[in-house]
């Protein structure tokens, strides 16, 4: 570096140094703390342990159960939650705040409590339970109950996220599309959904992670069949850490990449959608 | 009112589209009202200060604001109606071309996809838009066709938005500040394009602008708007000569008002009337045949661009106290100082000037005490 540049550089850098060093140090600590558990998991796992736990026939069944239940839960969520989110975002519902609070409640309640209350709502002895029985469904210790519990645990994340995504779409753009001759379904397809897509993807991915990892409500109303979180817990109880860590890894591998990819894509896309 | 006649369409006779609107939007103090009728290819400019309600008027016509009372009618269709029963034709059915400010391009679509967005077929007696290549060429967008909007400058975005509106079929064209962000070299070209398109399609057109020169350039008629009301509607070439009130005169650039009774009038006809004096329509000297001669004392002389802004206190016999401001145009820099002295353009000097053809307007407010 040329010597005449030095004093100038130093004077510019020094006021930043102390405060930014502290800030960076704290940020690194927080970041490490966030990633710590994942690191610990990887440190304590060896390939042989993983094989021993996951290789036996049927050992991967909880994975498939979880995948199937989560896919179904998300499917139901997208079909029913997206229109609700759009109505909330466009303030088309009377007393919008009340509706929003209703969606928020499952998020604020401990999942365990949701599970307990679900027994009173849809358990075999309740009116809804009796209706369900008519169509040969039982919301207790069944695959159906697992899906139901996962929906309750993940719904607020999707609906509120999707609402935020729709709110971000400038209403004027929808009006412009309509004035250019688009009926509302066409405007929805050509303007609203593409512009909300990054936000929708992020909230869907978050909901996916929540559904895959749903445990609190699941342990109450869907002890069987075992999904991944249940199996992890059962193994912890019966075999100990060695038996449960491979399932924990399994859970992370399946639940995490989608949200992370969605997040990365969404932040990239968002930059291009702002004028 | 034109009725849709299939035979007429086959003979390619241009329909005379007509817009009639008479409505109130919003409540006091933000109430905006308008009564308009436009026929054929007439072009109306809504001129007024920002916040006057110009945008609200065209958005109400386009269907983006709820009417408090009244109606909007295009040809034989009632587009919006507040009473007796609330009626509202859906936006997509309105066949209105609207350029908004800011224009609101679709950020996820390329320039070309934005321009060709309209899904409205150009049947039902609507004249087909210009060909895409012609439009791109006229607005110099050919090379930008595949760009994404976030990579464009403000002026380029504005041109794309104009192209998007003009590429759709419409029965009525509404342009909100179409010149925004465009540099001077573009203005003439845009005006010509808009006028050509309006004439070719034979549709009414409303242009919102806060620039009087632009309003005169593009429109046949100008509506002066302030505080949510149309104060005056007049042909573009007459409006400056015939403001009907002091508010309008002020919006048109008149800065001084002098009671007409100050000039020894024989009759009472000019009682409560004032001469409106435009700073650029005052010449030095006494020229009775050109207008009204005023005498007074120079109060200040300040440079304003290539001109001198002169403030003069009128000391006419019988005159109510008044101060006029006018521009003295002299761009010969090296002589200017001498001329100013020679013409008594110094503070404290007696001066005689002639206000050229000042319009005589009702003094709608109490006597002029306020200095303009």
Nearest to B98 among A173, A179, A195 (CB): A179
Exposure on the CB side of residue B97, measured as CA atoms within 13 A: 31
Residue B210 has pLDDT above 60, yes or no: yes
pLDDT band at B318 (very low <50, low <70, confident <90, very high): low
Tell me how far the alpha carbon of residue A138 is from its chain's centroid.
26
Give pLDDT, residue B165: 96
Residue B9 has pLDDT above 50, yes or no: no
pLDDT band at A5 (very low <50, low <70, confident <90, very high): very low
Q: CA nearest A191 in B: which residue?
A: B106
**CB-based contact A180 B106, cutoff 8 Å:** no
Q: CA nearest B120 in A: which residue?
A: A181
Q: What predicted TM-score, i.e. pTM, was given to this entire model?
A: 0.82
> CA-to-CA distance for B145 and B141, rounded, in angstroms?
6
Q: CA nearest B61 in A: which residue?
A: A179
Give pLDDT, residue A55: 85
Give pLDDT, residue B223: 96
Residues 6+ apart with CB under 8 A from B145: B110, B111, B112, B136
Domain boundaries, chain A: 2-43, 59-274
Chain A residues in contact with B164 (beta carbon < 8 A)? 180
> In terms of pLDDT, which residue wins out, B329 or A252?
A252
Q: CA nearest B173 in A: which residue?
A: A179
Per-residue pLDDT tens digits for B135-185: 999 999 999 999 999 999 999 999 999 999 999 999 999 999 999 989 888
Task: Tell me, yes or no, if A191 comes closer than 8 A to chain B by beta carbon.
Answer: yes
CA distance B354 to chain A (A): 52
**CB-based contact B164 A180, cutoff 8 Å:** yes
Per-residue pLDDT tens digits for B235-277: 999 999 999 999 999 999 999 988 877 565 555 556 678 899 9
Q: CA nearest B118 in A: which residue?
A: A180
- Residue written as tokens 């679509």? B109
Per-residue pLDDT tens digits for B268-310: 556 678 899 999 899 888 888 999 998 899 999 888 887 888 9
CA distance B209 to chain A (A): 20
> In terms of pLDDT, which residue wins out, A271 or A48?
A48
Residues 6+ apart with CB under 8 A from B247: B226, B231, B364
**CB-based contact A176 B100, cutoff 8 Å:** yes
Give pLDDT, residue B168: 92
Task: Tell me, yes or no, if A179 comes closer than 8 A to chain B by beta carbon.
Answer: yes
Token pair listed for A141? 């210790």
Give pLDDT, residue A53: 87
Residue A9 has pLDDT above 70, yes or no: no
Chain A residues in contact with B120 (beta carbon < 8 A)? 180-181
Task: Tell me, yes or no, if A181 comes closer than 8 A to chain B by beta carbon.
Answer: yes
Chain B residues in contact with A275 (beta carbon < 8 A)? 105, 107, 149-150, 157
Residue A47 has pLDDT above 60, yes or no: yes
**CB-based contact B91 A179, cutoff 8 Å:** yes
Nearest to A175 among B64, B97, B120 (CB): B64
> In terms of pLDDT, which residue wins out, B233 or B364?
B233
Q: CA nearest B172 in A: which residue?
A: A179
pLDDT band at B233 (very low <50, low <70, confident <90, very high): very high
Per-residue pLDDT tens digits for A119-178: 999 988 899 988 998 888 888 889 999 999 999 999 999 999 999 999 999 999 999 999
At B297 the three-state DSSP class reads strand
Residue A1 has pLDDT above 90, yes or no: no
Residue A213 has pLDDT above 80, yes or no: yes
At B231 the three-state DSSP class reads strand
Give me the architecture of the A59-274 domain, per CATH.
Orthogonal Bundle (1.10)
> CA-to-CA distance for B362 and B249, rounded, in angstroms?
11
Per-residue pLDDT tens digits for A29-44: 999 998 888 888 888 8
Chain A interface disruption, residue of B88, B100, B104, most A CBs within 10 A:
B104
Find the mean pLDDT for residues A242-248.
Answer: 90
Residues 6+ apart with CB under 8 A from A201: A262, A265, A266
Residue B360 has pLDDT above 60, yes or no: yes
Find the mean pLDDT for residues A58-74.
Answer: 94
């Amino acid at each position: 570096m040329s010597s005449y540049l030095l004093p100038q550089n130093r004077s510019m850098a020094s006021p930043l140094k102390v405060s930014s060093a502290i800030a960076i140090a704290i940020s690194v600590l927080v970041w490490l703390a966030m990633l710590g558990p994942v690191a610990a998991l990887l440190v304590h796992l060896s390939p042989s342990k993983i094989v021993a736990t996951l290789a036996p026939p049927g050992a991967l069944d909880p994975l498939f159960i979880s995948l199937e239940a989560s896919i179904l839960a998300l499917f139901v969520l997208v079909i029913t939650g997206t229109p609700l989110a759009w109505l909330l975002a466009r303030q088309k519902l009377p007393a919008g705040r009340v509706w929003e609070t209703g969606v928020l409640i499952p998020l604020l309640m401990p999942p365990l409590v949701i599970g307990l209350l679900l027994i009173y709502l849809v358990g075999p002895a309740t009116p809804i339970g009796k209706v369900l029985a008519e169509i040969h469904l039982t919301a207790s210790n069944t695959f159906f109950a697992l899906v139901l519990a996962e929906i309750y645990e993940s719904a607020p994340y999707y609906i509120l996220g999707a609402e935020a995504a729709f709110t971000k779409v400038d209403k004027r753009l929808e009006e412009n599309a309509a004035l250019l001759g688009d009926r509302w379904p066409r405007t929805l397809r050509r303007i609203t959904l593409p512009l909300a897509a990054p936000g929708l993807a992020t909230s869907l991915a978050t909901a996916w992670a929540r559904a895959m990892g749903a445990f609190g409500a699941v342990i109450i109303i869907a002890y069987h069949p075992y999904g991944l979180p249940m199996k992890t817990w059962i193994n912890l109880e019966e075999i100990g850490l060695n038996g449960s860590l491979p399932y924990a890894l399994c859970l992370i591998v399946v639940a995490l990449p989608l949200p992370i990819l969605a997040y990365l894509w969404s932040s990239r896309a968002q930059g291009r959608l702002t004028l | 009112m034109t009725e849709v006649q299939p035979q007429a369409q086959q003979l390619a006779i241009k329909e005379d589209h007509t817009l009639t609107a008479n409505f109130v939007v919003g409540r006091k103090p933000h109430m905006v009202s308008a009564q308009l009728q436009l026929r054929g290819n007439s072009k109306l400019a809504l001129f007024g200060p920002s916040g006057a309600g110009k945008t609200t008027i065209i958005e109400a016509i386009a269907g983006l604001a709820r009417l408090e009372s009244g109606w909007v009618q295009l040809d034989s269709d009632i587009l919006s109606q507040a009473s007796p029963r609330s009626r509202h034709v859906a936006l997509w059915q309105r066949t209105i071309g609207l350029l908004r400010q800011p224009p609101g391009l679709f950020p996820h679509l390329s320039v070309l996809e934005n321009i060709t967005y309209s899904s409205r077929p150009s049947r039902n007696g609507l004249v087909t838009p210009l060909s895409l290549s012609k439009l791109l060429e006229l607005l110099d967008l050919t090379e930008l066709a595949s760009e994404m909007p976030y990579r464009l400058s403000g002026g380029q975005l504005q041109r794309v938005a104009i192209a998007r509106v003009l590429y759709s079929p419409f029965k009525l064209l509404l342009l909100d500040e179409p010149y925004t962000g465009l540099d001077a070299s573009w203005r003439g070209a845009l005006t010509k394009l808009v006028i050509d398109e309006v004439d070719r399609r034979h549709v009414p057109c409303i242009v919102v602008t806060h620039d009087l020169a632009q309003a005169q350039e593009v429109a046949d008629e100008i509506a002066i708007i302030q505080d949510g009301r149309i104060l005056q509607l007049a042909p573009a070439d007459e409006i400056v000569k015939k403001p009907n009130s002091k508010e309008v005169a002020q919006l048109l650039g008149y800065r001084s008002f002098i009671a007409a009774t100050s000039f020894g009038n024989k009759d009472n006809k000019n009682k409560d009337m004032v001469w409106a004096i435009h700073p650029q329509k005052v010449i030095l000297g006494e020229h009775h045949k050109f207008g009204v001669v005023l005498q007074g004392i120079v109060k200040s002389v300040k440079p304003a661009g290539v001109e001198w802004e002169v403030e003069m206190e009128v000391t006419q016999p019988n005159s109510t106290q008044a101060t006029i401001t006018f521009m003295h145009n002299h761009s010969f820099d090296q002589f200017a100082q001498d001329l100013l002295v020679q013409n008594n353009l110094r503070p404290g000097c007696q001066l005689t000037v002639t206000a050229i053809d000042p319009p005589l307007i009702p003094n709608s407010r109490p006597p002029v005490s306020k200095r303009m």
